[in-house]
Amino acid sequence: MQGSRSHGGGNSGSAQSANSWSCRENFPATAELFCYCGIPAPVKTSRTPKNNGRRFCSCENFKVNRSCRFFVWVDPPLEGATLEEESKENSEIQAGCHEELMKIQAAKHDAIREIDAMKYEALLQVERENTAKKYEALLKDEIDKCKTLLLKLKLALLGSWVFFIFVFSMY
């Protein structure tokens, strides 16, 4: 189980062996490492497909000042079978996530359709209410006209009776 420390691209075999050490012997999990800049190099976790989950230490200034190329693996390299198992497990997790995502998207689509149907029904209800109000106003106008006409007819009837009484009273 070897951790490797590199100063950049391809080290030769002898240079690499001079810069290699056993992780368990020299760097216990609680030891603090310092990079070539002299600042602490915290333990980080790789998220790359090839080394997913492996822990390493590197310079905090790497993105700012690329001259310090301190890097060391804290964990031993993953074995081929472990990589395949993790890859298979990741694929299964991704498939499960994809399946859940499809279910969620289907539920979202159904919810949107239901909301659209409710909006349409609400618009129809508002339209029905507006139509009912229009008819109510028209009927009220017609009722008022009928009341006015009825009053006129009553007055005409009363006038005709007064006229008949007046005419017959003269004879």
d(CA 39, CA 28) in angstroms, rounded, equals: 18
Q: Is the pLDDT of residue 78 over 70?
A: no
d(CA 139, CA 141) in angstroms, rounded, equals: 5
In sequence order, which residues have a C-beta less than 8 Å from that of residue 87 and are 6 or more positions away?
A: 49
Phi, psi of 166 (to 5 degrees): -65, -45
Q: What angle do CA 167, 170, 171 make, to 5 degrees?
A: 100
53 phi-psi bin (left φ>0, alpha ψ -120 to 50, beta other): left
Handedness of CA 13, 18, 24, 30 (dihedral sign): negative
In sequence order, which residues have a C-beta less than 8 Å from that of residue 90 and are 6 or more positions away?
A: 52
d(CA 4, CA 10) in angstroms, rounded, equals: 12
In tens, the pLDDT along 43-70 reads 898 888 778 888 999 888 877 766 788 8
In tens, the pLDDT along 124-169 reads 999 999 999 999 999 999 999 999 999 999 999 999 999 999 888 8
